Amino acid sequence: MPLPQPTAQRTRLHVRSVQIDGYKRADGRWDIEARLIDSKDHDYPLSSGLRKPGEAVHDMWVRVTIDAETNILEAAVCTDASPYTGYCERITPAYAQLVGLNLMRGFRTAVKSIFPGTLGCSHLSELAMILPTAALQTFASEWLDDDHAEDKPYQLDRCHALDSHSETVKRYYPRWYRSSEPG
């Protein structure tokens, strides 16, 4: 169901597109790529120059290569468009610090700690924050999604609908359902 109709006439001023692609590599690893593009529907004057409608104000990429335990083995970051060309992209080498982090264990906290304020790019850090759930969705094609798997399905206890005590789990994964009633 889409959002309800707006209650007032409006004019769109900004477009942000985020695309995430997950790949299984021939070497048994996975690449998760995320791209963010910001543009305007009007002439957008900046101190660094005018951006025309549809011209990217930001066009930034983050790619991590991970293993089966979601450890980041490689990281690549690039800035194809930014408001301050020649300056914004200077921070991209700092994102090599993603290597060694684990997407499922403290990743978002680590990103906030490593790249606070002027030690990072708000857009690249925001893009990095999407990587854990993108990795889960990429891995989803590889894991059994049924109640007969030997191990607890990866998605259980990762959101409110799939809490082990929920009606959803009771219906679709009865083996893993845990009553919330005492005793």
Q: Where are the alpha helices (DSSP H) in 5-161?
A: 107-114, 122-128, 131-140
Assign 51 a pLDDT band (cuts: 50, 70, 90): very high
Say if residues 46 and 88 touch (Cβ distance below 8 Å). Answer: no
Among the listed residues 146, 148, 149, 166, the one whose alpha carbon sits nearest the alpha carbon of residue 157: 166
What average pLDDT does the structure give for the chain? 92
Q: Could you give the domains of the chain?
A: 14-140 (3.90.1010), 146-183 (no CATH)
pLDDT surpassing 60 at residue 183: no
Residue 77 to residue 92: CA distance in whole angstroms:
6
The average pLDDT across 54-63 equals: 97
pLDDT value, residue 20? 97
Query: Which pTM does this prediction carry?
Result: 0.86
Tell me, what amino acid is at 178? R
Instruction: Give tens-digit pLDDT for 135-163.
Output: 999 988 777 666 666 777 777 888 888 89
